[in-house]
Amino acid sequence: MFFNSIGYIMNKEIKFSLVYRDMWQSSGKYQPRVDQLEKIAPVIVDMGCFDRIETNGGAFEQVNLMYGENPNKAVRAWTKAFNKAGIQTHMLERALNGLRMYGVPKDVRQLMPKVKKAQGVDIMRSFCGLNDPRNLELSVKYAKEAGMISQAALSITHSPVHTVEYYMGIVDKLVEFGADEICLKDMAGVGRPATLGKLVHEIKTKYPHIKVQYHGHTGPGLSMASTLMVAQAGADVIDCAMEPLSWGMVHPDVISVQAMLKDAGFLVKDINMDAYMEARKLTQEFIDDFLGLYINPGNRVSTSLLVGCGLPGGMMGSMMSDLRGVHGAINMALKKNGKPEVSFEELTVQLFQEVELIWPMLGYPPLVTPFSQYTKNIAVMNLLSMAQGKPRFSQIDKDSWSMILGRAGKLPGELAPEIVELAKQQGMEFYTGVPQDAYPDALPEYIKEMEENGWERGEDDEELFELAMHDRQYRDYKSGLAKERFNKEVAQLRGERLKVKGENADAATGALNYISQKHPNATPIVADATGRLLWEVNFDDQSTPPAPGTEVKEGAVIAHIEASYALMPLVALKGGKVVDTCAKQGQMVKKGDVLGWVE
């Protein structure tokens, strides 16, 4: 290794990691089936350029359950070829939130790395969306106890708060905890190249034994420059994607990254292009099979508008769906108040600007799952409220309040005074304790449930872990409901004629005929996304649809649709009383389905 005339590290080996899980995560809803993963694994090995593969983690296990596949079998089968070839495998987990969107009990978090290590996963990449070291400490501890490499991630964003000094303060804590590696998780790709280079230089200077891995999405177009800067500053591993799921909102393609770094004087492995083309072909086959039904074409496009708002590329599809869902309601409100209507493109720009405006007011939470969703939800509802002539922050959902009140961890910046005052007006208390303390141990309860159902805990307690981490999805998987629901969903998306049970078809037809005759002026409640229906918890009964006669305000969130890993609000286009509903709590619905009526 040597340094050139301007101090950049040269002749250093840079290793590549294929983030195959995140390629799909950032493109659509589902991951490939286990048979598809087994088919492409040896081809990826033959490419010869990867020292690491991201195999599983956030959204991987969950979506496997959602289409009726056992995620434990998938992880074991998927990692097998890489383990045999000596290629390291790594997973992604969300610290306090584990592999889901909300807090996980301590004993479940401790079980996770034990299970994943036994399944063939070498590295646990752990991130906290708020960069709260308290949430990461147990991740590091439990990973190392299980014999895994602990890679602690910094959630990268760009703000007056998120300086090199700020991040180094977190790095000091992570090293103190015993982290083996540091990942720069640039989930929105808004990290500025020069700043990221300085950060890596500081890390490698202070902790030369610590490996640094860079993960940068290509949404706003900065990540290739950032890749070069962090490599020159001493980074060891670069995350890459490959066609047909590279660029756009995903990650740089390994071909381009390899060419750039080779030209800069780094030692990089050659790419077996025959194997690359075969892997590319197989990935396209998976897309053509069924996965493409869930891929938003817009995710293929980068946009510099993301530089300002900092929203991650992986959630752009859900955000666009949210906007389409409220577009009509916003224009209806604008028209009612004598204001000009807005096009969808104008509304999109307004949303980006609204996120950019409120982000500092909310304490600069890094816009990564789930805090990107919370911030986006608040921004969407602000646009609707203002169109209705109401002030900002008139409608904030309970999960966003949880973030604001500190229940998920300490916000990086200070809340705006109006947010603090709003919390006081609503009688809410700010939480200053350790977030993990709010989630008591739960494994004994899940063990009891498995025993009562006659379910096996599985090899290395892996089935117990899946139940404890994704209890609702796991129960649906065990009952066969998940596979039935998924097959129906795919058939609907393909436009095939569905074979539904007669009683369900008769009930839906009967309800439609009744409503059209008795309530001809009723406005339908229409699903604006495909996913699981969750009627809004503000109604008296949280487990059932709103009863006939329930008052609904125009523009109010009356339900959420759990699409992929994001909750999308469903807004009432008209105020009045609920006439009837024809969709149950937790039911899978598709975009365009009528869920009920308001008059």
Instruction: Provide the pLDDT for residue 182.
Output: 98
**Which tokens sit at 262?**
């080779």
pLDDT in tens, 167-202: 999 999 999 999 999 999 999 899 999 999 999 999
Domain identity same for 346 and 412: yes
Instruction: Provide the pLDDT for residue 539.
Output: 44
Domain identity same for 288 and 383: no
Residue 235 CA, chain-centre distance (Å), reads 25
Domain identity same for 272 and 371: no
pLDDT in tens, 486-536: 888 787 777 643 333 333 444 444 445 555 566 777 777 877 777 778 776
Question: What does the pLDDT average to over 74-102?
Answer: 96
In a domain, 574, yes or no: yes
- As a whole number of angstroms, the distance between CA 282 and CA 287 comes to 9
- Choosing from 299, 321, 353, the residue where a domain stops is 299
Burial class of residue 262, CB neighbours in 10 A (0-12, 13-18, 19+): middle
Domain identity same for 189 and 324: no
- At 66 the three-state DSSP class reads helix
Domain identity same for 424 and 508: no
Domain identity same for 235 and 99: yes
**Which tokens sit at 237?**
């591993």
In single-letter form, the type of residue at position 134 comes to R
Domain identity same for 287 and 330: no
302 pLDDT higher than 90:
no
Alpha helices in 290-397 (DSSP H): 306-309, 316-336, 344-361, 371-387
Q: Of residues 125 and 300, which shows the higher confidence score? A: 125
Domain identity same for 263 and 313: no
Burial class of residue 502, CB neighbours in 10 A (0-12, 13-18, 19+): exposed
- As a whole number of angstroms, the distance between CA 203 and CA 190 comes to 20
In a domain, 83, yes or no: yes
Q: What is the pTM of this model?
A: 0.81
- Choosing from 421, 437, 453, the residue where a domain stops is 437
In a domain, 449, yes or no: no
- At 599 the three-state DSSP class reads coil
Backbone Cα Rg of the chain: 24
- As a whole number of angstroms, the distance between CA 328 and CA 26 comes to 27
In single-letter form, the type of residue at position 564 comes to S
| Per-chain mean pLDDT for the chain | 87
Instruction: Provide the pLDDT for residue 59.
Output: 83
Beta pairing, strands 551-552 & 576-581: antiparallel
163 pLDDT higher than 60:
yes
Containing structural domain, residue 260: 2-299
Contact yes or no for 92/54 (Cβ under 8 A): yes
CB atoms within 10 A of CB 481: 14
* DSSP-assigned states of every residue in 12-63: -B-EEEE-HHHHHHTT-S----HHHHHHHHHHHHHH--EEEEEEEETTHHHH
Torsion, Cα of 474, 475, 476, 479 (10° steps): 120
In a domain, 461, yes or no: no
pLDDT in tens, 57-74: 988 998 899 989 999 999
Least confident of 162-176, 356-370, 456-470: 356-370
Instruction: Provide the pLDDT for residue 531.
Output: 76
In a domain, 448, yes or no: no
9 pLDDT higher than 50:
yes
Instruction: Provide the pLDDT for residue 471.
Output: 94
Domain identity same for 279 and 368: no
In a domain, 462, yes or no: no
Domain identity same for 259 and 329: no
226 pLDDT higher than 70:
yes
Instruction: Provide the pLDDT for residue 492.
Output: 75
**Which tokens sit at 586?**
């937790």
- Choosing from 437, 462, 482, the residue where a domain stops is 437
Least confident of 300-304, 345-349, 479-483: 300-304
Q: Of residues 348 and 98, which shows the higher confidence score? A: 98
Domain identity same for 140 and 161: yes
When pLDDT is cut at 50, 70 and 90, the band that residue 485 belongs to is: confident
- At 440 the three-state DSSP class reads coil
CATH number for position 190: 3.20.20.70
In a domain, 495, yes or no: no
When pLDDT is cut at 50, 70 and 90, the band that residue 589 belongs to is: confident
Least confident of 16-20, 56-60, 248-252, 551-555: 551-555
In a domain, 511, yes or no: yes
**Which tokens sit at 235?**
């980074």
In single-letter form, the type of residue at position 217 comes to H
Specify the residue for token string 């590549």: 16
Instruction: Provide the pLDDT for residue 85.
Output: 98
540 pLDDT higher than 60:
no
Q: What total of structural domains would you count in the chain? A: 3
Instruction: Provide the pLDDT for residue 515.
Output: 58
Element (H, E) at 107: helix 106-118
Domain identity same for 102 and 240: yes
When pLDDT is cut at 50, 70 and 90, the band that residue 563 belongs to is: low
CATH number for position 579: 2.40.50.100
